[in-house]
């Protein structure tokens, strides 16, 4: 502890203070632990699931969930038309839907954040041309771009992830680019420049802390878009293919059973909605906490 630099003490104190403030928001704290649980399940799903996602139980096709009078406890969420356990498939679906979304968003946050900061710190004609180029992408919906890219490749989950990554990057870069540019126009930044503060020090000590909330919000927005688009591309047969237990693909494969076995469609839909809510509530709670800390 005594070997730490003053900056390290300040940073560790900042994190601890933000954490103490964040803990006071019970809903956000619960969503934080729920997000960690989803990440853990995404890694350990094959071990946690009671059955293999492809295991078929002959004679148990379309068994209702356990809370139904005709249901069985061993098939807690029932079975699908092939006799596969819905609970096991939903658990494994966390890996394919939630886990894939996390991977895409991490790549977008790293690549898009770096390129956005570099573009934002640049000056002159190149900066203006890049700004206009990124502005042009904002007029095209991300889903449309990802569909166009996905149709050019073989339908699969990895290719759907790549399509969404390429579609999201220009939007993410644009947001970080705009955030950095807005900070550079502020009076106190201009004063620091006149005092001879280097761009690297200005970026580290002033700009990055001030755009952190916007950066987090953009990550949360990107995650929401990614999770929905992975499910959407699988639903229209451009993403995960049979028998992958991706939630969007599960809805597609069971859509004809909506009236006969509604749980095969409703449960994956609920999983998508709950995952989105958990991450969005956690992200918004974190942003509010950081804003409150710097007030």
Residues 149/167, Cβ–Cβ less than 8 Å: yes
| Total residue length of the chain | 295
> Which residues have CB under 8 Å from 7's CB, separation 6+?
none
For the entire predicted model, the pTM comes to: 0.89
Residue that has been written with the tokens 């800390």 in this structure = 293
More confident residue, 117 or 205: 117
Question: Quick one: CA torsion of 103, 105, 107, 111, rounded to 10 degrees?
Answer: 180
Q: CATH top-level class for 25-293?
A: mainly alpha
Q: Compute the mean pLDDT over every residue in the chain, rounded to the nearest whole number.
A: 87
The pLDDT tens digits for 125-178 are: 566 666 666 666 677 888 888 999 999 999 999 999 999 999 999 889 989 988
Residues 97/45, Cβ–Cβ less than 8 Å: no
The pLDDT tens digits for 48-81 are: 999 999 999 988 899 999 998 888 899 999 999 9
What residues are paired with 84 via a beta bridge?
A: 56
Tokens standing for 12?
A: 């560790």
Helix (H, G, I), strand (E, B) or coil at 274: helix
Query: Span 33-37, mean pLDDT?
Result: 96
Domain ranges of the chain: 25-293
């Amino acid at each position: 502890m005594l070997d730490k630099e003053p900056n390290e003490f300040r940073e560790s104190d900042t994190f601890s203070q933000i954490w103490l403030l964040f803990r006071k928001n019970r809903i956000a704290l619960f969503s934080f632990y729920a997000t960690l649980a989803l990440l853990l399940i995404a890694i350990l799903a094959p071990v946690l699931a009671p059955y293999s996602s492809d295991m078929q139980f002959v004679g148990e096709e379309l068994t209702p969930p356990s809370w139904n009078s005709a249901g069985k406890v061993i098939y807690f969420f029932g079975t699908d038309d092939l006799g596969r356990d819905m609970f096991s498939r939903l658990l494994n679906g966390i890996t394919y839907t939630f886990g894939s979304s996390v991977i895409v968003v991490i790549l977008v946050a790293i690549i898009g954040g770096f390129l956005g900061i570099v573009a934002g710190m640049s000056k002159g004609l190149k900066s203006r041309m890049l700004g206009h180029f990124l502005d042009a992408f904002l007029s095209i919906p991300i889903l449309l771009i990802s569909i166009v890219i996905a149709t050019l490749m073989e339908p699969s989950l990895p290719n759907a992830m790549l399509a969404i990554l390429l579609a999201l990057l220009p939007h993410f870069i644009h947001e970080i680019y705009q955030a950095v540019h807005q900070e550079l126009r502020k009076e106190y930044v201009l004063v620091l420049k006149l005092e001879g503060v280097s761009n690297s020090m200005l970026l580290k000590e002033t700009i990055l802390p001030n755009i952190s909330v916007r950066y987090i919000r953009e990550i949360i927005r990107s995650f929401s878009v990614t999770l929905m688009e992975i499910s959407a591309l699988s639903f229209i047969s451009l993403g995960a293919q049979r028998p992958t237990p991706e939630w969007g693909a599960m809805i597609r494969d069971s859509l004809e059973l909506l009236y006969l076995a509604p749980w095969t469609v409703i449960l994956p839909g609920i999983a998508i909605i709950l995952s989105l809510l958990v991450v969005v509530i956690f992200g918004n709670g974190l942003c509010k906490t950081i804003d409150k800390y710097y007030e």
